[in-house]
Chains A and B, each alone.
Chain A
Amino acid sequence: GALVYQYPRRTICKSGTSMRMECQAVGFQATSVAWYRQSPQKTFELIALSTVNSAIKYEQNFTQEKFPISHPNLSFSSMTVLNAYLEDRGLYLCGARDNQDTQYFGPGTRLLVL
């Protein structure tokens, strides 16, 4: 079956430091990967959409300078939260789409910033 793994599941970082999270598609080849953030008590904001061999498209309020993404192949994507501060805490969700246009979500990486 198709699964999406995310690593780490939970992490704590000091304010001003950076944190990298990974997303792995298993059982299918991800044609695109979308990264989301759910801040406490809020909904899921789309950060960026990454398609292999295409430019990564960032949503308003999110930039490559703050959330650089690497999507080197059809099964792996990583995103870094640079210079993390309190407002960056939350659940970061990765959603991978297969060639049948079905979207699979990972369990998320929960980021706590101290």
Chain B
Amino acid sequence: GEQVEQLPSILRVQEGSSASINCTYENSASNYFPWYKQEPGENPKLIIDIRSNMERKQTQGLIVLLDKKAKRFSLHITDTQPGDSAMYFCAAKSNNAPRFGAGTKLTVKP
């Protein structure tokens, strides 16, 4: 299968705390896992990605983890700010096109 499951669908956190979003995929041949942030009325923007030859990647307050054995990957936003409030989508790509998760609506409360 090619399904990508994403949880939670809604996430509310307090400013300064961390937020975590989890995704699982079915196709063991998937080798590329991008994350996108989409603000209301805007197009999705790539914020971080990880390839299957890595288990962890970090950039500017974002951490992605990949567990190929469990076919699971996750996004962790440290020290969240109100500006992090948005929809977040994970995706997994094998030989074909990336498949997207259903999205997580993150709200960071001041």
A112 at interface, CB cutoff 8 A: no
Flag the segment in B10-18, B63-71, B89-97 that touches A: B89-97
Q: Contact mask A1-45 → B, CB, 8 Å, 1/0?
A: 000000000000000000000000000000010101000001110
Whether the Cβ atoms of B44 and A105 lie closer than 8 Å is yes
Which residue from B31, B93, B96, B100 sits with its C-beta under 8 Å from A44?
B100
Query: Closest chain A residue to B102 by CB distance?
Result: A43
Is there an interface contact between B32 and A101, defined as CB atoms closer than 8 Å? Answer: yes
Which of A32, A42, A46 has its CB near the most chain B CB atoms (within 10 A)? A46
CB distance from A27 to the nearest CB of B (A): 16
Within 8 A of A (CB), among B49-108: 89, 91, 93, 96-103
B97 and A32 contact, CB distance less than 8 A: yes
Interface centre among A36, A44, A93, A97 (most CB of B within 10 A): A44
Considering the chains assembled together, what is the distance between the CA atoms of A97 and B98 in angstroms? Answer: 10
Q: Taking CB as reference atom, which chain B residue is nearest A51?
A: B96
Assembly CA distance A42 to B32 (angstroms): 22
Find out whether the CB atom of A44 lies under 8 angstroms from the CB atom of B32: no
Taking a contact as CB atoms under 8 Å apart, the answer to whether A34 and B43 are in contact is no
Residue in contact with A43 in the complex, picked from B31, B34, B103, CB distance below 8 Å: B103
The contact size tier of chain B is 10 to 19
Tell me which of B31, B32, B46 contacts A105 (CB under 8 A): B46
Determine if B32 and A34 form an interchain contact, defined as CB atoms under 8 angstroms apart.
Answer: no
What 1/0 flags go to A90-103 for Cβ under 8 Å of B?
A: 01010101000111
Residues of A within 8 A of B34 (CB): 103
Contact B31 A49 (CB under 8 A): no
Q: Say yes or no: A46 contacts B99, CB within 8 Å.
A: yes
Report whether B43 and A103 are in contact in the complex, using a CB–CB cutoff of 8 Å. Answer: no
Q: Return chain A residues, CB-CB under 8 Å to B103.
A: 42-43
Contact among B46, B91, B97 with A49 in the assembled complex (CB-CB below 8 Å) = B97
What 8 pairs across the A-B complex have the smallest Cβ distances? A34-B97, A44-B100, A107-B43, A49-B97, A108-B43, A43-B102, A43-B100, A43-B103
Establish whether residues B98 and A103, one from each chain, have CB atoms under 8 Å apart when the complex forms.
Answer: yes
A108 to B45, CA, bound (A): 11
Given contacts A43-B89, A43-B102, A103-B34, contact A91 B43 (CB under 8 A): yes
